[in-house]
Structures are given as structure tokens and as C-alpha cells.
Amino acid sequence: MPYSVFVAAALDEFFTHGGAGRGGADFVTSPEVGSLFGALVARALDRWFVELGSPDPFIVVDAGAGRGRLARDVLRVGPASAPAMRYVMVERSAVLAAEQREHLTIEPWEDALGPFLPSPDGDGDPEPVPGIGPIVTSLDDLPALAFDGVIIANELLDNLAFDVIERTAKGWKEIRVGLDGEQFVEVPVAADESLAPAFDAPPGTRLPLQLGIEAWLAACATGLARGFVVVIDYAAPAAVLATRGQSGWLRTYRAHQRGVAPLSAPGTQDVTTDVVTETLHRAARRAGFTVAAEMTQAEWLSSLGIEEMIGSSRREWDARAHIGDLAALAARSRVTEAAALTDPAGLGAHTVTILTKNL
């Protein structure tokens, strides 16, 4: 079977059981670090809301929303766009989606855009009542109806199933997966020409082939009439990944630790890959998006004012560290969060890619 079929089945099994793959100091996602990330995303959403001309409803799709941590933190700071906001969490794991209800009041999807009033002239489509947000809803797939707004995907694309190709002395091979007894094993086959990358590489070079990104962006383009798709993930150009070797871009996580070999123990661990920058850009253009901006997470959070936001916490910690009371500890926690989110050797190095459509 193609590698992507194996990975898709393994991830399905893993997330069906509510798998919590990434955790621990090195592997935690940005929303899980604390509430600061959500507060900054709320600022970004307000800016995009204004750029879109303050639409009401303003649809925010959180793709791969997990337990709803980002949603909770965005809404908690009360963004200016909240009265227009419909916050749509898209999560395919039923176990994780169920956990969203622990922190958020979730409305049925049919009600998220309503209630509606008859159009002013009586003949047109009914119009949603303005100013009644935020309304939160949850789906297991991207909404297909046309909307204006933002789709944000934090560490989702690295989690879409991927294929693997390898340069051998006889050209590019596709690494498929077969069974040897009870063990899943690699089965190299000649790669279809369409799978080979545009550049050559020394024999032994392996790369991920992320056709799932194309399908995902095409689905985004079906729903998003006008607005932004924001992809936050670990990403690198193919030539950089080629130099790292497979273990440098294919990672597994289990019980908050690095997992075992990708073909071992399928369904018991998270399987992820770095996003290939060229794949993301090409898929974006094919789906009708413009690559409007790209930067590191540290640069993005800086543009959103992370330093100024934690400035008072830093001063408070400096002033109260010797007292060590709750206020001092809370201040220190914000400062530590900011350092984790902008760490150039960790989350700060994530790539933030901002795609636009009809803007």
C-alpha cells in the first residue's frame, strides 16, 4: 500500500482513541504552552477582520482544533471582532471533539450562522442578525458553504498523511508498505515520474510527498470566498529536508515522548512530517490563493506585539520576584511562555504562512 494509506490508517486509529502525542518540554504545541498564544491570535484575528471590512458573520475556522484550547484562549480575551465571530472548530477525532465541551459552550452548526431575518426587500436571501457573536460550533470536516473569514491551522498540515520517495542509483523510488509476517516493512517500487521532485539529489535522499496538503487547500478554497488561510507548522524547503535524512523530518510521538520507528506499533503513536515549503506554495497557488506573507512564528508574534504584551509581566516579576507571591508567579509564567513561543530552537522557528483569496 502507499505510505500515505498506512499513515492515514495509523493516525485514524491513534486519534480515534484521543491520542495525545505531543507533550513535554520539547514537543508541546503553542496553544498548549499557555494562554498567551491565543491572546496574540485574537489580535491577529481582529486585524484580519478589519482588513476584510468587518464582515458579520466573521467566520473563524480552527482546523485541527484538538481539545479547543486555542478557541478558549482566543475567546477569553474578548477580541473586538467577537460580536461578529462564529468560531468553528474542525476536529476529526470524536474523543478530542467531545473534550471541547469541557471548556466551551458549543452550538449546533445549523444555529451558528443564525438567527436569520427576512431580507429587507422581502425577496432576497434571509440575512443573519448582526452582533450576536461569538458563537462556537464544532465540525468533523471543513465547512463547505461559502464564507468570508479566516482558516487557521496550527500543526495540522504536518499531521496529514504523506508518501515517501527515495533517490536511488536507478532514479526515484516510491517507498510503499507491505507485510512480512506480522511486521509492516518498506517496499520500494519505481516511482511514477509525476512523483519525482524538480531537482536531483544524491542516492539515499528521502523526501515526504504531501499530496494531502493539496486536497486540504482545495477544500479550504471551496468554502472560503474571501479571506485568509494561516498555516503554522514546522516547514522547510525540500532541499533542506533532503540533507536531513528521513529521521530529520519524519517524527513519531507517543505518551508525550518521541515514539518508535514509523512502521512499528501503528495506531499507538502520532506520525508527523515537516511541511515541504514548495509543496505548500504550489498547492496554495493551484487552489487559487496568493502567498501573501511568510515568516517565523517568533517574527509573527513580535509583529503582534508579544514584547509589549508581556512587558508589564516582566516588570511585575522583576519587582516581586523576591516576594514570590501568586502575582509574581503569574508574571513569571507569562514571561516563560513568551520565551517558549519565540524560542528560535523550538516553537519560534515554526513557519507562519499567510495565504489570501480575493483580497
Ligand X SMILES: C[S@@+](CC[C@H](N)C(=O)[O-])C[C@H]1O[C@@H](n2cnc3c(N)ncnc32)[C@H](O)[C@@H]1O
Instruction: State which of residues 93, 137, 210, 277 lies at the interface with ligand X (CB under 6 A).
Output: 93
Task: Choose the stretch contacting ligand X; rule: CB under 6 A; options: 39-47, 64-72, 300-308, 335-343.
Answer: 64-72
Please identify, using beta-carbon distances, which residue of 228 and 317 lies nearer to ligand X. 228
Name the grid cell of 4: 500515505
Q: What angle do CA 194, 229, 309 make, to 5 degrees?
A: 135
Minimal distance, residue 218 CB to ligand X, in Å? 13
Contact flag: residue 138 with ligand X (CB under 6 A):
no
Among 148, 155, 166, 274, binds ligand X (CB under 6 A): 155
| CA dist 31 → 41, 48, 155, 199, 287 (Å) | 10, 20, 10, 36, 28
Binding of ligand X by 31 (CB under 6 A): yes
| Closer CB to ligand X, 27 or 147, in the complex | 27
- Kindly indicate which of the ranges 58-66, 102-110, 244-252, 351-359 contains the residues binding ligand X, using the contact rule CB under 6 A: 58-66
Residue 154 in the binding site for ligand X (CB under 6 A): yes
Binding test (CB under 6 A) with ligand X, winner from 32, 99, 186, 343: 32
Site string for ligand X, 175-204 (x = CB under 6 A): ------------------------------
Cα separation, 138 vs 163, whole angstroms: 29
As measured in angstroms, the least distance from the Cβ of 77 to ligand X is 17
The footprint of ligand X on this chain (CB under 6 A) covers a number of residues equal to 19
| Interaction between residue 348 and ligand X (CB under 6 A) | no
Least Cβ distance, residue 37 to ligand X (angstroms): 9
Contact 115, 127 (CB under 8 A): no
Spatial contact of 147 and 164, defined as CB atoms under 8 Å apart: no
Asked if 252 touches ligand X (CB under 6 A), the answer is no
**208 is an interface residue for ligand X by CB under 6 A:** no
- Closer residue to ligand X, CB minimum distance, 256 or 320: 256
For residue 100, state whether it binds ligand X (rule: CB under 6 A).
Answer: no
In the region spanning residues 209 to 248, those forming contacts with ligand X, defined by CB under 6 A, are none
CB of 229: closest distance to ligand X in angstroms?
Answer: 14
- Residue 159 binds ligand X (CB under 6 A): yes
Among 73, 91, 163, 233, binds ligand X (CB under 6 A): 91
- If the CB atoms of residues 83 and 267 are measured against ligand X, the closer one turns out to be 267
Cβ density class 28-59: b for 16+ within 10 Å, e for less: bbbbbbbbbbbbbbbbbbbebbeebeebbbbb
Q: Which of 47, 92, 256, 281 binds ligand X (CB under 6 A)?
A: 92
* Cα angle 243-246-249, degrees, rounded to a multiple of 5: 85
Cis peptide, bond prior to residue 115, ω within 30 of zero: yes
What residue ranges bind ligand X (CB under 6 A)? 15, 22, 29, 31-32, 64-66, 69, 90-93, 96, 154-156, 159-160
